Amino acid sequence: MTEIKICDLYDTIASMSPIEIYINDKRVWSDDVDLTNVSIGDEAKAIHENISQYNAIFARQDLVEEIIFKITDYHHSVVYIKTEGNKE
């Protein structure tokens, strides 16, 4: 049984410059913030929300069964995490 939790993996994941993070095959974060139809005053809010979603991942206590990094471009990656019992 694993003892590694998602919250324990911040440094490892951040070092891989993720552009997307999936947990149990569900995309939970992407660095692609669409600001196309966002008013100027709401741009910062949208970016802040994206950062909050990223940080919320690393508050999770799910036990990690598997983590895979797929290198996508230069030094960026897509992160796939499977948790024990595949709980969200």
One digit per residue, the tens of pLDDT, for the chain of length 88 reads 669 999 999 999 999 999 999 999 999 999 998 888 888 888 989 999 999 999 999 999 999 999 999 999 888 999 999 998 775 5
Using a 10 angstrom Cβ sphere, with 0-12 exposed, 13-18 middle and 19 or more buried, the burial of residue 61 is: exposed
**What integer pLDDT is reported at residue 57 of this predicted model?**
97
Q: Is residue 10 a contact partner of residue 66, using CB atoms and an 8 Å limit?
A: no
